[in-house]
Every structure is written in structure tokens, then in C-alpha cells.
Amino acid sequence: MKTSMDFRSVRLAAGLVLLLSAVLSLGSLLPQQGVFSVSPFVVTIVGKYLSYAFLALAIDLVWGFAGILTLGHAAFFALGGYAMGMYLTREIGARGVYGNAHLPDFMVFLSWSDLPWYWMGSEHFAVSVLLVLLVPGALAALFGWLAFRSRVSGVYLSIITQALTFALMLAFFQNGLGFGGNNGLTDFKDVLGFDLHQARTRAALLALTGVFLAGSLMLARWVVSGRFGRLLVAVRDAESRTRFMGYRPDHAKLLVWILSAMIAAVGGAFYVLQVGIINPGEFTPGNSIEAVIWVAVGGRGTLSGAVLGAVLVNFGKTLFTAWMPEFWLYGLGFLFIATTLFLPCGLVGLVGSMGGRAGRNARTDPTPELVEPGRDEE
Amino acid sequence: MSEDWLLDLSHVSVTFDGFRAINDLTLRLRPGEMRAIVGPNGAGKTTMMDIVTGKTRPDCGSVRFRGQELTRFDEPTIARLGIGRKFQKPTVFEALSVHDNLLLALRGTRSPLRMLFLRETPDEGERIAGLLGRIGLTARERLLAGALSHGQKQWLEIGMLLAQDPRLLLVDEPVAGMTDAETMQTADLLRDINTSHSVIVVEHDMDFVRALGVDVTVLHEGSVLTEGTLDRVSADPRVIDVYLGR
Amino acid sequence: MAEARAAVLLVALLSVASCLPLGPAICLAQDRTGIPTPTPAPTSIPAPISAPDVGHSNAVSDADGEALRALASRHFEAIGRGVARLGVSDAPWGKAVLEALHDGRLAVGSDSDRIVIRENGVARDAVTGATLTGDALRRIRVNNRIRGAIRIALAERALRANDVSAREAAAMALYHHPGADALPVLDRAMSREKAASVKRALTLARAAIVLKTGAAPGQERAAVETLGKSGRLDARGLLAGVASSSSDPEIAGSARKAVASIDRRQRLWGIVQNVFYGASLGSVLMLAAMGLAVTFGVMGVINMAHGELMMIGAYATYATQYGLHRWLPGLETWSLAVAVPVAFGVCWLLGIAIEKGLIRFLYGRPLETLLATWGLSLCLQQLVRSLFGPTNVAVTTPSFLSGSVAIGGTEITIGRIAILVFSGCVMAGLLFILRRTRFGLQMRAVTQNRRMAALMGIRTARVDALTFGLGSGIAGLAGVAVSQIDNVSPNLGQGYIIDSFLVVVFGGVGNLWGTLAAAMTLGIGDKVLEPLIGAVSGKILLLVLVILYIQKHPRGMFPLRGRGVDS
């Protein structure tokens, strides 16, 4: 697949994300039953879509630009979620079912006497934010370093990313791991002293999600539009050639891989804040594959397409599961098949090529589609 | 004495599953020299290049470049030491523009982290413009490399080699699939390059080798059959035997 | 089920030993459990004694006659003597008489000395088997001592049986229920026994009696040694008792040692058992991975719907069983055998349809194939859910595949052995197809050089479809096997897909023997780790190890090597 380095749509997407989140969060503060008022349900569900969009963006960075088809990226998303969930769990304090000020409910239930060492510091918001970035980042660094160094690539890499998230899922289902086993972390009360159930808090969270998503989009755009982005594309299309030019493709991949894991993790953190629960189900291998299809639907290698795909597919899922739940899997299944067969460049690619065709007719240049438009963006 | 050689392969052997691709090969190149390597299919020409550039590790023997042992290095390290390679099949980055292909090849930082923050400098722009002129692709600077003709891709790849500014260029069958005119142009280009770089060319095309006018090494079954000027070599009965009599 | 199997084994045993007295060990065992001895219907036992018209039975030796007269006595002492005499007698009717006496079915004519066996309201002469009517009968009473003596007598008769296994079983029965009065019987049997296995059993029985009853003072040490060497778990209790209660410190010490050696042996057998379970799990993985070894290893197609094809194979098994149950109940026992071709056929056709309708358009784009087949897998899951419902369906296991056999110190279920064998057969069949048939040759030709193969007249598109069909059909076969050990539900396939891909990659793509080695390594590793660190942790550890291994050796354990192989 060839990517034209056209990132004009990224700014547009970032702007739309900001607009959407701002309008919805303001609308939710208006008195209910008003014309422009937004129900709390919509705020939560859009917050969820936008959190998933981080994951899609992260996948597009590595799949679209470095050719790494990850089938385990939801693991980083979930780890970010757990890191944030730990802080929120500590915030519950003595308001839990057992009223234990030092231990989360599930630990009391397991009759543990002390917090495990890896929960130390989780009561501080700043530490948790660091953990959100560092834990998935460190796992990605370790995994990526091993995989890219030994030149594991293509479907082999896809399969071991699946195995990675599967192993994590099994581990997090264990009660003994200290993350709430089956139930995960939930029943959160507040964040930084703000009540999570209050409309104002939720509106602010949605707005923040929008700001961070737009920021991540622009960050990703900055990463891929520069010289490093060109190296990534070179690595994606002819990895061994870059080696003979003195590049270390494994280092390039590792860098974007870690960055991508961190973006996914931020999504996980926003997800927990708004959805209010994180459990081992998020590690299910199927989740990661589903996230890949969001990217494929929106358009691989476009960044904006990833966000668009995540929101659209999940919106479709909400509609489907409400109206005719038994058909959702058919819908999703056909979406996978149809996208790969008929829409290899995704929706953004479709729009782009329609726009390109319109412009081409006006010009006389024999090979205008190969003119690289991203250059004047610099 | 080995310090006098730019490249010094001595007694190199490599075996693939019982097949001896390179058999006690000894090959030396002086600084500034251009050498043509010929030989029938399976003579070990490409494998020899694989060994020099670190793609294949020899079973025994030593490969020295400016006195440094290469066999313990991987491909990027060897490339950074100053050995550039052009593949038989033109390999350019088709999804990038001609300009970006050259930009990535330009000698400079190879650290991905630093490249994140790097933007193109005017100096780099000038060097790219110079290279484009030299390989005759100035008008196609903004075109995606995938849209170039076969011969243009060959030139772009040579241009990328020049951008790397290596001490030694390994060029594998640069004129395969070119028209006669393009072939002669390429010979001129290589002679021009040879004024500032050492070059090893692997080629079948005898007219091209003649046009280069350099010493020839004949490889056969993984080792050197004979060396010398093209006239002397082509008169050698063993060479005639290898090429025709098998 | 277990009882039914016991009956099957019993019949088998009996038909071998048809000309012999029935195995008394079984009677003894049933006495112990309080179940009344089921008197075998005379027709079902082709033993001479039950044939009423056998002439030669009428000849009664003096000793036997004396024994019968003793039984007719009203004194327990005399009856005991009679029982003991019948124990050493070879009279073919002796066993039936002893059993009848034990169950209170033996009677004596009130006006004669004729001994009569009553059965289902019919009285027959114990010796001739002739039906008697109108005779007034007196039931011969027995007490517990006599019952004990009967058991010994029956055992003694059985210890003289022609069949070695019957003799061994009789000796083992005495081992399991040691009684002091069996000692002389054992010694007599020992003096004439030739077969080593029976001798071993007799020695064991003797040792158990010596330790349990203290009947032979001074022989305890040898007995402890015998039991210790046997390594039998059922000797452990006896030995532990000796270890704690024996007054002789030396004997107590060697008993302790014997207990420890039995424990060691048990641990060893535990490992053997784990390895077997591992091999069994490995054979399931192998079945699941073999289809992938064809579609992924040979064709390079990533089929994420492979697990769903297995699931459909399992449902095909269910449907076959259901159909046979409904319309051809006579074939129900063989439903699995019928299901094998059905499941293969269904999945084969489905595989060809998938190749023609989907995969064909995505050759050379492995990652897109992966996504499209994942989508397909979701559709197939939902389809099966709509057709059969979301819950598990019950696939039955035929009786000949349930139950278990004891090998050494371990119990092995027959179903698992069957899957191991089945897996081996499928692999042999696949190897045959790949290496020995024209189709296999075409398949390899197409994968190695498609254009050249096409130029040579091979219809590559057809070979592609058939190859994919073959891989899918093997998935169906795996489904048949999995239906026997796993819940058959629409989600069945998801549990296998990651494991089977790991097996193929771990073993080295394109190498069936590598796949086998990988499946067995993972299976056995899983079951060996399970008791050490728990099932889930073991699985996680194994996954992590395989991930690390693949990163170290990206081409798996048995990579294809050579110049042509390139990254």
C-alpha cells in the first residue's frame, strides 16, 4: 500500500474532535430537556468512542507507517487503564463496601493484610499518570526490542502480539495478581476530589479527552511528516535496503512502537475515567483485532482515518447492539471482509481519491497522483 | 601490507547447506580503484557482496576494509564505515518522492530519535539538487520513486549511493534491462564516480565492462579464476572454457 | 459406565477361560462389598458344570463323595471339612456347590444324602445337574467361619486354574483380603506354580498375610522387603502400619524405607502420568495445528477462521450423532466413525467455498487475509449460534471410548489414547498426501513456483482451492476429536486459534515434524508445569517462553534453511 504523505486531513480531524467534544460537554451542562442539551449517556458513550480513537491512532502509527500489524495493542490500552484505575481505586478510600481505608475491597475480600509493593504510590495522581505512560512504554520497549532486534516481522509479529495480550489476559484474570481478578477495578467515586458522577466532572473529562486526542493527532502528524516519518515508510516498504544505508530499522520501529503504546495507554486512562470500569476482558485478543478494523475502515496510514473509523464503527456497534444484537457479529464480520476486499484505502482514502480525481481532470500533468502534496505542508 | 588495501578479502569460504558458494576467495582492491567482476551464474558474485556488506557471515577467512575486520559487524555498521551497495534489482523507496529518497540517503545522522527533530537544511537542499543534476532526475524531484522508469530507478539508486558518499561502492548489475544508450550513460556515470570513489562493479554485459576500461576479475565456483585487463582475461583459455565450454 | 466395562472385561476373561471354573476373585470381591453374588444364568456360561446332561459328571470320586457327605452333615465342623475337601478337589461341579453353599442355596434331601442346588425355584442335583421335583429339602446352614472357609476353598480351586491370569487374579484377591487361614493354601499353590507372574502375586499375598495377621513370626522382614519392592500404593498402608507399630526397630526401619520407596515410585508414576496427559494435550494441539500447517505453512494463508472450522467440525459430529439417533439408531454406537468423514467433508467444502469466495482475492496480502478471515470467523460463530443456539450442545462419548486402563501405577483414559492415535493417523495421512500423491506433488510445485507450475499445465487455482480445502477438512477432523474433550459451543474455536498458530510458528513453518515437536513440547510443558506452579501460571509462563523463543529464533525450532530463504 502506498501512502501519499498528505496530512491535511489530520488538522481537520483534530479540529473536528475538539469541536465535537466541546459542543457535547457544554451541551451536557445545559438544563436537561432543552433543545441543545446533551444527555449524560451521550457524554459517556462519546467519551468511550474518543478513548478508543487513541487506540486506533496508536495502531495506525505502527501499522500504517511502519508496517507492523499489531494484534495486541489493546494490551497497552488496558495497561494504561489499569494504571489509572489503581489511582481511582485508592481514591475510594474508606467508602468501599468493607470500609477499609488502606485496602481496596477485593484485597480485603482476599484477606490480604498489606498493599502489594506495586500499588505503592498509586494514591498520588501524578505517580499514576507517570505509570499510565511508563508501564505500557516499558513493556512495549522490552517486547519491541526483542522482536525487532531479531527481525521478527509480518504475520509472525502479529501472532506473537496476540500471544502477548492473551498471556496478559490470563494473568489479569488471576486474583493473586492483585488487580481484582475477574471483576477488575470499578466502583470509582472521584478523581482529584471531583465527583465522577457529577455532570460537570464528566463534561470536563470529555472536553479533556477531546483536547488530548487532538493533541495526539497533531503529535502523530508531527512524527510521521518529518524525516523520521520518511524513514518509517522506507523501513515499511524496503527494510533491508535501509540497513545498507546505515540505518537501524529496529531502532526506528522501536521508537514508534513505544510512542504508539503510550498513546494507546492514554486512551485507556481516559476510558477508565469515563466508563468507570477496567477488567481483564479488555485484554481479549479479539478486542485488539477489532481495533485494527477501525483503522482499516477509516483508512490505514492517514491518522485521521483511524479516529474516524474508531468513532464510526463503535457508533455502529452501539446502534446495532441496541436494535438487533444478534446481527452485530455479522455486521462486524462483513465489515472486516468488505473493507479488505473493496476498500483497501479506507473511507479517508476513498474521499481522497474522489477529490484527487476531480482535481486530476483539471490538470494536464501526466502523472499528477504521484506528485507528493505533503511537501508544501512543511 | 594489508593497510595498503582498501578492501582485502583473504581465504573466505561460505557454505549453504553443503553448497560451497564461496571457496577460499582472495580478492584485493586498492584505494581509488574501479574493478569489474564477471563470472557465470552461480560463480558467487552476489554472495561476495553479501559477505562484504555483512548480510552473510563467512564460515572462515577475513574481510578487511581499511585495515578493519568487517566480519564481526552487521549491515548498518558496515554501511556507516563507508561501504555502499546497489542491488541487482533496483530497490528504491517507491512510496517516497525522488527528493526524499535522496534525503534519507544523504550522509548524516542515522539516529531515529534525532531524525524526529531534524528538518531539512539549505545545505542538504543544495546537495540534493547537485545529486539530482548528476543523475539527470532534476525534473522528477517531486515524483514518487515508484513512478520512475526502470532505468531512472537504477540511476536514482546510484544517486542514493552517491548521497551516502561511501568510500567504496558495490554495484550489482547496474545495466541489466537498460537500453544501449542508457548503458553507455551509466558507464560514463560510473567512471565519473570513480574519480572520487572506489568501485566494484558486477556485470555480465561485456560491452559495458569494456566501456568502463578497468581491470577485470573472473570468478568461477566461488573463487578467483583470473585477473587482469579485459583483453588479457578474455584471451585466457580457462575463461573461454568457463563461459562456453561447460 | 465402569460397571459395564467391568462386565465386558469379565465376559472377555470368561470366554478365554471357558473350560475352567469361574474366577473366584470376582465372587470374593463381591462378597466383600456386600453385593449378593449374581448367579450367572447357566446358558451364559459355557462351563461343563452347568450343562445338565453332561454324562461324565456323574462319576464321583471317593474323596469327592466323602466331601459331599460331609456337607450333608448338621455339624459345622463336618461341613468345614467338606468345604476344605472341595477346595482341593478337581470335581467340575465343586465351584457351583461352594458358591451355592455360600449363598444359602445348597440343600440336602431330607430322606437322602443327595446334595441339591436351588436356583430360581428349581432344584437340581449338584453333581448331575438333573432337575429334581417333589423331594423335601433341608437347607444347609453355614456360619461365618464356614463362609471364610468357602472363600479359601474357592481361591484354592482358582489357584489351580489352567489360565494364568485367573490364577493371578485369585492370588491378588488373597492379597487384597489377607486372612491367616489362606497361608497353607498359598504355600501349596506356591509349590506347584510355574508362571512367574502368578508366583509374584502369591509372594505378595503371602507377605500381606504375614504382615497383617502376624501368622508367621520371623518372616516379617522378608515380607516388608517384598512389599517394598513391589512399589504398590495399596501396600503403603500396611507398611506404614508396620513402620509405626512393629516392636522390632530393624523391621520398622526397613518398613519406613519401603514406604519412602513407594512414595518415590508414585511420584515417578505421577510424572509419567503428567507426560501422558501432556502428550494427549499435545496431540489435540497437533490436530488443531495440522490444518494450519497446510493453509499457513504450505500456502502462506493466515486463516483466522481455522478455529471456527474446528468448531463446525465439532457441530458436524453433534449433528451426525443427532441424525443417527433419530433415524438410524442401530448405527449410533459408531456415530464417531461416521462423523469423521462427515466433518471432513463439511469443512472441506466450506474451505473450498472460502478459498473461492474470499482468500483468492487476497493472495500476496497476508495481513489483509488475516483481517478478512477474522471477519469470516465472527460470521461463522454467529451463524452457528443462530442455528444451534448459544449454549453448549451435548456430544456423547461412545461407551468403548469411556473409562480408563491402568498402566503401571497410573490410570489412563481410553478417550485420550484414542485422540493420540487419531492424531497420529491424521498426521500419517497428511504426510502421505503431501509426499506420495500426485496432488501433493502439484501442491508443492504450486507453492514453490506458481508460474512454472502453471506453465507445466497444473491448474494452480484448482490446486489452491483443494489445498485450502484439505487444511479446512483437517480442522474438521480436529473438531471431531475436540468434541470429545471440550464443550461444544460457538466459542469453541477461539480457544484454539492462538495456540495452534503458536505451534506452527514455534515448530517452524512448512515443517510437519517441527509442528509435531512444537505441539508435544507445548502440551507436555503445560502439564508438567501445571502441578508445579498452577494451570494458569503454567500457561502464561509457557506463552512467554514461546514468545521469547520465537524472538530468538524467528523461524522456529526446525526452520527451512538455505540460500533461497530470505527475510
Residue whose C-alpha cell reads 475477574 in the numeric block: A182
Query: What is the three-class DSSP state of C64?
Result: helix
Mutation target for C interface from A175, A330, A337, A342: give the one with most C CBs within 10 A.
Answer: A337
Query: β-strands B168-172, B83-86: how paired?
Result: parallel
Contact: C381, A167; criterion CB under 8 Å? no
CA distance A150 to chain B (A): 12
The whole-angstrom separation of Cα A328 and Cα C471 is: 29
State the cell numbers at A161.
502480539
- Cβ atoms of residues C493 and C377 within 8 Å: yes
Whether A363 has its CB under 8 Å from any CB of chain B: the answer is: no
The whole-angstrom separation of Cα C422 and Cα C167 is: 36
Q: Kindly identify which residue of chain C lies nearest to residue A335, measuring between CA atoms.
A: C375
Which residue ranges form the domains of chain B, and what is each CATH number? 2-244 (3.40.50.300)
Q: Does the pLDDT at position B28 exceed 80?
A: yes
- Cβ atoms of residues C279 and C522 within 8 Å: no
What confidence score (pLDDT) does residue C134 get?
67
Query: What is the three-class DSSP state of C396?
Result: coil
Nearest-CA neighbor of A171 among A291, A283, A288? A283
CA distance B15 to chain C (A): 9
State the cell numbers at A203.
463534561
Average pLDDT over residues A18-40: 86
How many residues are given for chain C?
567
Residue whose C-alpha cell reads 477499609 in the numeric block: A100
Neighbours of A319 (CB within 10 A): 12
Instruction: Report DSSP state, residue B143.
Output: B
Q: Kindly identify which residue of chain C lies nearest to residue A167, measuring between CA atoms.
A: C540
Instruction: Give the containing element (helix H, strand E) for B223.
Output: strand B223-228
Whether A86 has its CB under 8 Å from any CB of chain B: the answer is: no
The whole-angstrom separation of Cα C373 and Cα C354 is: 9
Whether C546 has its CB under 8 Å from any CB of chain A: the answer is: yes
Whether A194 has its CB under 8 Å from any CB of chain C: the answer is: no
- Cβ atoms of residues A291 and A59 within 8 Å: yes
Question: What pLDDT digit, counting tens, does each position of A95-132 carry?
Answer: 888 888 888 888 988 889 888 999 988 899 999 999 99
Residue A260, CA distances (Å) to A59, A62, A252, A266, B117 in order: 7, 7, 12, 10, 17
CA distance C563 to chain B (A): 6
The whole-angstrom separation of Cα A27 and Cα A39 is: 8
Neighbours of A12 (CB within 10 A): 12
CA distance C451 to chain B (A): 20
The whole-angstrom separation of Cα C97 and Cα C49 is: 10
Q: Kindly identify which residue of chain B lies nearest to residue A249, measuring between CA atoms.
A: B112
| DSSP, residue by residue, B120-137 | --HHHHHHHHHHHHHHT-
Mutation target for C interface from B17, B87, B89: give the one with most C CBs within 10 A.
Answer: B17
Chain B positions touching C563 (Cβ under 8 A) are 16-17, 19, 21
Task: Tell me which amino acid residue C472 is.
Answer: S
Find residue C406's DSSP bridge partners: C411
Chain C positions touching A149 (Cβ under 8 A) are 551
Chain B positions touching A226 (Cβ under 8 A) are 115-119
The whole-angstrom separation of Cα A329 and Cα C18 is: 63
Contact: B104, A230; criterion CB under 8 Å? yes
The whole-angstrom separation of Cα B92 and Cα B160 is: 9
Report chain B's mean pLDDT, rounded to a whole number: 88
Contact: A329, C382; criterion CB under 8 Å? yes
The whole-angstrom separation of Cα A242 and Cα B104 is: 9
What confidence score (pLDDT) does residue A185 get?
93
Residue whose C-alpha cell reads 524467528 in the numeric block: C554
Task: Tell me which amino acid residue C34 is.
Answer: G
Mutation target for A interface from C285, C378, C539: give the one with most A CBs within 10 A.
Answer: C378
Nearest-CA neighbor of C298 among C480, C547, C474, C423? C474
Whether A336 has its CB under 8 Å from any CB of chain C: the answer is: yes
Chain B positions touching C561 (Cβ under 8 A) are 16-17
Residues contacting C80, CB < 8 A, separation 6+: C145, C146, C149
Whether C359 has its CB under 8 Å from any CB of chain A: the answer is: no
Question: What pLDDT digit, counting tens, does each position of B153-207 carry?
Answer: 888 998 999 899 899 999 988 888 788 888 888 898 889 889 989 999 998 888 8
The whole-angstrom separation of Cα A4 and Cα C102 is: 97
Q: Which residues of B touch C (CB under 8 A)?
A: 16-17, 19, 21
Find residue C410's DSSP bridge partners: C407
Q: Kindly identify which residue of chain B lies nearest to residue A234, measuring between CA atoms.
A: B93
Confidence of residue B244 (pLDDT cuts 50, 70, 90): low
Q: Which alpha helices (H) appear in C293-365, and where do they start and end?
A: 306-327, 335-357
Contact: C505, A159; criterion CB under 8 Å? yes
- Cβ atoms of residues A333 and C376 within 8 Å: yes
CA distance B206 to chain C (A): 27
Contact: B103, A238; criterion CB under 8 Å? no
Whether A293 has its CB under 8 Å from any CB of chain C: the answer is: yes
Comparing B60-74, B92-106, C208-222, C282-296, which segment has the lowest mean pLDDT? C208-222
Residue B144, CA distances (Å) to A37, B153, C94 in order: 50, 11, 103
Chain B positions touching A375 (Cβ under 8 A) are 97, 99, 142
Residue C71, CA distances (Å) to A243, C78, C146, C151, C212 in order: 102, 7, 11, 16, 31
Mutation target for B interface from A5, A225, A227: give the one with most B CBs within 10 A.
Answer: A227
Of A146, A154, A334, the CB nearest to C366: A154
Residue C189, CA distances (Å) to B229, C136, C159, C201, C204 in order: 102, 40, 6, 11, 13
CA distance A87 to chain C (A): 26
Q: Kindly identify which residue of chain C lies nearest to residue A155, measuring between CA atoms.
A: C367
Q: How many contacts, defined by CB atoms under 8 Å, are there between B and C? A: 8
Chain C positions touching B21 (Cβ under 8 A) are 563
Nearest-CA neighbor of C563 among A233, B171, A283, B42? B42
| DSSP, residue by residue, C419-485 | HHHHHHHHHHHHHHHHHHSHHHHHHHHHHH-HHHHHHTT--HHHHHHHHHHHHHHHHHHHHHHHTTT
Of C368, C375, C536, the CB nearest to A334: C375
Of B97, B104, B143, the CB nearest to A231: B104
Q: Does the pLDDT at position A282 exceed 90?
A: yes
Residues contacting A373, CB < 8 A, separation 6+: A4, A5, A6, A8
The whole-angstrom separation of Cα A27 and Cα B214 is: 79
Chain C positions touching B19 (Cβ under 8 A) are 563
Contact: B19, C561; criterion CB under 8 Å? no
- Give me the phi and psi of B170, to 5 degrees please: -105, 120
Neighbours of C144 (CB within 10 A): 7
Chain A positions touching C382 (Cβ under 8 A) are 326-327, 329-330, 333
Confidence of residue B101 (pLDDT cuts 50, 70, 90): very high
Of A231, A244, A367, the CB nearest to B115: A231
Task: Tell me which amino acid residue C390 is.
Answer: P
Residues contacting A174, CB < 8 A, separation 6+: A181, C536, C537
Chain B positions touching C562 (Cβ under 8 A) are 16-17
The whole-angstrom separation of Cα C91 and Cα A120 is: 86
Q: What is the pLDDT along chain C (567 residues), one digit of tens a residue?
A: 444 454 444 444 434 443 333 333 333 333 333 334 444 444 333 333 333 443 444 567 777 888 888 888 888 888 888 888 888 888 888 888 888 888 888 888 776 677 888 887 788 888 887 887 766 778 888 888 888 888 888 888 888 888 888 888 888 888 888 887 888 888 888 888 888 888 888 888 888 888 888 777 778 888 888 888 887 778 888 888 888 877 788 888 888 888 888 888 888 888 888 888 899 899 999 999 999 988 888 888 889 999 999 999 999 999 999 999 889 888 888 888 999 999 999 999 999 999 999 999 988 888 888 889 999 999 999 999 999 988 899 888 888 888 888 776 677 888 888 999 999 999 999 999 988 999 989 988 887 788 888 888 888 889 999 999 999 999 999 999 999 888 899 999 988 888 888 898 888 877 889 999 999 999 999 888 888 888 888 888 988 898 888 888 877 787 764 433 333
Question: What pLDDT digit, counting tens, does each position of C375-430 carry?
Answer: 999 999 999 999 998 889 988 888 888 888 877 667 788 888 899 999 999 999 99
The whole-angstrom separation of Cα B41 and Cα B204 is: 9
The whole-angstrom separation of Cα B154 and Cα B173 is: 10
What confidence score (pLDDT) does residue C560 get?
60
Neighbours of B56 (CB within 10 A): 18
Q: Does the pLDDT at position A204 exceed 90?
A: yes
What confidence score (pLDDT) does residue C543 get?
87
Nearest-CA neighbor of B109 among B121, B97, B118, B98? B118
Instruction: Report DSSP state, residue A373.
Output: G
The whole-angstrom separation of Cα C523 and Cα C482 is: 15
Q: Angle B184-B188-B194 (CA atoms, 0-180°, nearest 5)?
A: 140
Contact: A335, C536; criterion CB under 8 Å? no
Contact: A340, C368; criterion CB under 8 Å? yes
Q: How many contacts, defined by CB atoms under 8 Å, are there between A and C? A: 122
Contacts 24+ apart (CB under 8 A), A29-37: A29/A199, A29/A200, A29/A203
CA distance C396 to chain A (A): 29
Domain boundaries, chain A: 9-283
Mutation target for B interface from C560, C563, C566, C567: give the one with most B CBs within 10 A.
Answer: C563
CA distance B11 to chain A (A): 24
Q: Does the pLDDT at position A156 exceed 80?
A: yes
Contact: B105, A245; criterion CB under 8 Å? yes
The whole-angstrom separation of Cα C391 and Cα C490 is: 8
Mutation target for A interface from B116, B128, B156, B160: give the one with most A CBs within 10 A.
Answer: B116
Nearest-CA neighbor of A345 among A312, A303, A301? A301
The gap between the terminal CA atoms of chain B, to the nearest Å, is: 38
Residues contacting A211, CB < 8 A, separation 6+: A18, A21
How many residues are given for chain B?
246
Chain B positions touching A239 (Cβ under 8 A) are none
Of A69, A167, A330, the CB nearest to C382: A330
The whole-angstrom separation of Cα A245 and Cα B78 is: 9
Find residue B219's DSSP bridge partners: B224
| DSSP, residue by residue, B183-207 | HHHHHHHHHHHHTTSEEEEE---HH
Nearest-CA neighbor of A233 among A372, A376, A55, A52? A372
- Give me the phi and psi of A23, to 5 degrees please: -60, -45
Task: Extract the runs of DSSP E, i.e. beta strands, from C7-121.
Answer: 106-109, 115-119
